[in-house]
Amino acid sequence: MPDQIQTHTLSVLVDNEPGVLARVIGLFSGRGYNIESLTVAEIDAARRLSRITLVTSGTPMVIEQIKAQLDRLVPVHAVRDLTTEGPHVAREMALIKVVGSGDKRVESLRIADIFRARAVDSTIESFVFEMTGSPEKIDAFVNLMRPLGLVDVSRTGIVAISRGAKGI
């Protein structure tokens, strides 16, 4: 099935310089590629390095193109396809605000406990839960909170790293 759409998680090591994120995003919009999730932060201040974790989808030919196009950008150090290069760990963090009282409030706290979400802020009528996990786990938790007074969700998008001893 050469034309089947696949989802890949890419790690991109870049120089932390102005415009580098715009270059990456512009590449995706300009060439019509998908971005399902994108996170970026500096990982080495001394060497001015940032790491971008990108989740994208496309046919195998398109995924190869995306990697080649990313690698062609001048400030890009390395492009790694975590999906094809062996097992990797992928996590996302979310902050979830739930407002309610009575049974609903108790129930939200109980479910948060099951999902190992922590309350990081609390008032008489609200909680802010912090949770880390796979995107599916966060989706499940958010869906359960909906009838219990969900008002706000903020998610980081996926960060990922390969398993084992080898670095990028």
Q: Between 72 and 118, whose beta carbon lies closer to another protein? A: 72
Q: Which is nearer to another protein, 76 or 96 (CB)?
A: 76
Would you give the binding string for another protein spanning residues 77-106, x where CB under 8 A is met?
x-----------------------------
The nearer residue to another protein, 30 or 102, going by C-beta atoms, is: 30
Binding flag, residue 76, another protein (CB under 8 A): yes
Closest CA relative to residue 54, chosen from 99, 4, 13, 108: 13
Interacting residue ranges for another protein, rule: CB under 8 A: 15, 18-19, 22-23, 26, 30, 61, 64-65, 68-69, 71-77
